[in-house]
A and B are shown apart, each in its own frame.
Chain A
Amino acid sequence: MSSDVSPGVLADRVAQAVLAVPGVHDLHGGVLGEVATYLPGRRVTGVRLRDGDTQVHLVLAWGAAVSTTTDAVRTAVAAIVPGTVHVAVEDIAAPGQPVVTP
């Protein structure tokens, strides 16, 4: 994790970059909603920053191939935070469900 940027800013940047990848429907907080970056007064759901690695949990849009989309997510996140990027596909959105915009 870069030391010059605060974790909150970093998590926001990661979340925005992930949501901008085509085929990503939304971020997902995991089964119990526990996957998040906890910040003073708020949290960034679906992104967990730790030293040396980053976890991204997401919901894909219908029709997006898992392997190509997760590769794109990985590339997008790697440009922001160094280290390994772990991607978890939690769910697939139903066809016709509107795409959330960040």
Chain B
Amino acid sequence: MVDVNDATAVRTTDRPARGADEGASQGPEPEGRGHLSVRAHALQHIVETVALEVPQVRRTEGALAGVRSGTPRAHVHVRGTTARVSLDVSVAWPAPVSDVAAQVRSRVLDRASELSGVRITSVDVTVSVSGIDERRAS
């Protein structure tokens, strides 16, 4: 047995991946194959990087260490083999906020689920507008 005592790790003996190979497992029985565990930390990194792939999403650096964190910043709540995600992203002004949020959400649901093999049941996106308005900066 894997000695993973972190309650936030996803542990599974059967592959949770959704895909073409579903039900086509060959080799030993799931019990004999061993455990697969995916740390919440790994899932968090996948989600954050996937969010950055949406064109208008910007990376921002945190300030005042621990007080304000940089974005994109994901919080992952793992229950069994599924996860809920809440995600803070920043966009540059001006941007269609609801459109970006929808894109981020669908991208995380598709791509992060596919990459991590963890079923993501819900994604909450919070968008903040970052950066300086260029008219004021001049």
Contacts and interface: CB of A to CB of B under 8 A. Distances in A.
- Bind each other: yes
Interface in A74-102: 74, 84-92, 94-95
Interface in B17-46: 17, 19, 21, 32-39, 41-42, 45-46
Contact of A91 (B15, B32, B37, B45): B45
B6 A67 contact: no
B70 interface: no
A26 B42 CA distance: 13
A60 B49 CA distance: 13
Interface of A: 31, 53, 55, 60, 62-68, 70-71, 74, 84-92, 94-95
Interface string B2-15: 11101001000001
Contact of B115 (A66, A74, A86, A87): A66
A90 B17 contact: no
Contacts of B114: 65
Contacts of A53: 1, 34
Of all A-B residue pairs in the complex, the 7 with the closest CB atoms, nearest first, are A67-B17, A84-B34, A67-B117, A86-B2, A66-B117, A92-B45, A86-B34
A62 B49 contact: yes
Contact of A87 (B6, B21, B35, B41): B35
Contacts of B1: 53, 86
A88 to B, nearest CB: 5
Given A74-B34, A84-B32, A91 B17 contact: no
B9 A92 contact: no
B89 to A, nearest CB: 17
A66 B16 CA distance: 10
B116 interface: yes
Interface string B35-74: 1111101100110010000000000000000000000000
Given A71-B15, A85-B33, A88-B36, 15 more contacts: A60-B42, A62-B49, A63-B115, A65-B17, A65-B117, A66-B17, A66-B117, A67-B17, A67-B117, A86-B2, A88-B35, A92-B42, A92-B45, A92-B49, A94-B45
